[in-house]
Amino acid sequence: MISVIGGGPSGSYVASLLAKDYDTTIYEEHDRIGKPIQCTGIVSKNLNEYVDLKSSTINQVKGAFLYSKNNKFELRTNKVQATIICREKFDNYVKQKAVDNGAKVLYNHRFVNHIKEGNNGLIKANFNVRTDSNNSQKQIETKYLIGADGPNSTVAKSANLLGERKNWFGAQATIKGKFDPEMVELHLGSICPGFFGWLVPENDEIARFGLACMEKPRFFFDKFMEKISKREGYMPQIVEWQGGLIPYYEKQKCQEGNVFLVGDAARQVKATTGGGIVMGIIAGEALNESIRTGKSYDKLWKKKIGRDLWMTKLIRDKIDKFDDDDYDNLIQTLNGKSGDVLSNHGDMDFPSRFVFKMLMADPRLIKYAFK
């Protein structure tokens, strides 16, 4: 018996693997999967290795514009580099894979806490169950408990795995305007301290516009919108507001006995971009292997993605010290040989595949490591 708390991509994906041979149930606190939307929905080409994106694809982009306060770098390629997905369709597609493999899904079940394994080796998990008429309490017994319940994971808290966490606050809106459908925009510097602003096109008239920061997200959102409005000469129309928390990666323990964390609950998120879908799915494969073989989950997921998560954290720690002049100089440097390497070898998920090539192409980048 395996209980997965949370029906997002990480939880549903690991459930789809485990349900082939184990009695597996997904417990989702909402009345449906995929809502509310708390993600920009831009995923790398690497995700195609694990799931079929056809049913949820809205757009595909071939590059990005990187903006600092005074400079601009155009990273345009001839190949698709990232896919813009409908998160509701994607989340339900992954959930359906789990159901097709034998998993059950129970909605309106909010995990409260659990009692550690007793003499029978089973975990007792407590839930609040919401129905149209009332709320009730429920307790189940399970052999394995998997927390895929987001940045402030209640499973992590119950298992004393939460630790001291910090999250970015993401503020995003769907907007109407005129956009290049093949290019994403990333805006760096004081316009969004500690992270970046983005414009991700769904097509030439609709885009996802937002940013993330540790504090005052609405203040910086409005400031960012004002900048874009001045550049374009008109105020884009806001169609829908979205937002959510993005976990800040820190190396941590993700297994306590038969309790495991995966995805955002485990902070398996790239500190450079805030993306976690690919990392959560790869960690789900490690978790599947751990349960089937008894090997250490922490060792398995760190072997698969630990190096790249650490590298994104290292990069984030360095660029958080940048001011606008530093970003201007960096963008200017990228307009040289290192930018060519980034165009040909850049990877949203695995910086270890191209960072050292960039340093070899332009040693001037090394100075940023000592900022």
Residue 79 has pLDDT above 90, yes or no: no
- Class of residue 291 by CB neighbours under 10 A (exposed 0-12, middle 13-18, buried 19+): buried
Alpha carbon of 233 to those of 161, 178, 212, 245: distances in Å? 49, 11, 24, 31
Dihedral angle of Cα 364, 311, 76, 366, to the nearest 10 degrees: 0
Cα three-residue angle 45-168-314, rounded to 5 degrees: 65
Exposed / middle / buried, residue 182 (Cβ in 10 Å: 0-12, 13-18, 19+) = middle
Distance CA 74, CA 192 (A): 20
Query: Rounded distance, CA 348 to CA 28, Å?
Result: 29
Phi first, then psi: what are they for 328, rounded to 5°? -60, -45
Q: Are 322 and 371 in contact (CB under 8 A)?
A: yes
Half-sphere exposure of 359 (CA within 13 A, CB side): 10
111, β-bridge pairs: 127
**Which domain covers residue 309, as residue numbers?**
2-38+88-165+250-316
**Nearest-CA neighbor of 153 among 44, 55, 272, 280?**
280
pLDDT above 50 (res 28): yes
DSSP single-letter state for residue 305: I
Q: Per-residue pLDDT for 348 more than 90? A: no
Tokens 């929905």 belong to residue: 41
Residue 338 has pLDDT above 80, yes or no: no
Q: How far apart are CA 21 and CA 53, in angstroms?
A: 25
**pLDDT band at residue 341 under the 50/70/90 scheme:** very low
pLDDT at 57 over 80: yes
> How confident is the prediction for the chain on average, in pLDDT?
89
Q: What's the CATH number where 7 sits?
A: 3.50.50.60
Residue at 113 is within a domain: yes
| Interaxial angle between packed helices 87-100 and 9-18, expressed in degrees from 0 to 180 and rounded to the nearest 10 | 20
Q: Is the pLDDT of residue 60 over 90?
A: yes
Give the pLDDT score at 340: 53
Whether residue 144 contacts residue 260, with contact meaning beta carbons closer than 8 Å, is answered with yes
Is residue 15 domain-resident?
yes
Whether 149 is in a domain gets the answer yes
Given pLDDT bands bounded at 50, 70 and 90, which one contains residue 293? very high
Residue 83 domain flag: no
pLDDT tens digit sequence for 9-21? 999 999 999 999 9
Whether 98 and 110 have beta carbons less than 8 Å apart is answered as: no
pLDDT for 353 equals 54
Q: Is residue 351 part of a domain?
A: no
The answer to whether residue 292 is domain-embedded is yes
Domains contained in the chain, number: 1
Domain contains 26: yes
What residues contact residue 90 under an 8 Å CB cut-off, 6+ apart?
Answer: 9, 34, 41, 53, 56
Q: Taking residues 159-181, report their average pLDDT.
A: 94
Nearest CA-CA partner of 137 in 108, 115, 158 = 108
Q: What is the DSSP string of 5-57?
A: E--SHHHHHHHHHHTTTS-EEEE-SSSSSS-S--S--EEEGGGGGTS--GGGE
Give per-residue pLDDT as tens, 211-251: 999 999 999 999 999 999 999 898 999 999 988 999 999 98
Please check the confidence at residue 40 and state whether its pLDDT lies above 50. yes
Can you give the pTM of this predicted structure? Answer: 0.90
Helix (H) / strand (E) containing 361: helix 355-361
C-alpha to C-alpha distance for 207 and 179, rounded to whole angstroms: 7
Quick one: how many helices (H) and strands (E) in the chain? Answer: 10, 19
Q: Do the Cβ atoms of 260 and 146 come closer than 8 Å? A: yes
Let me know if residue 223 belongs to a domain.
Answer: no
Amino acid at 290: S
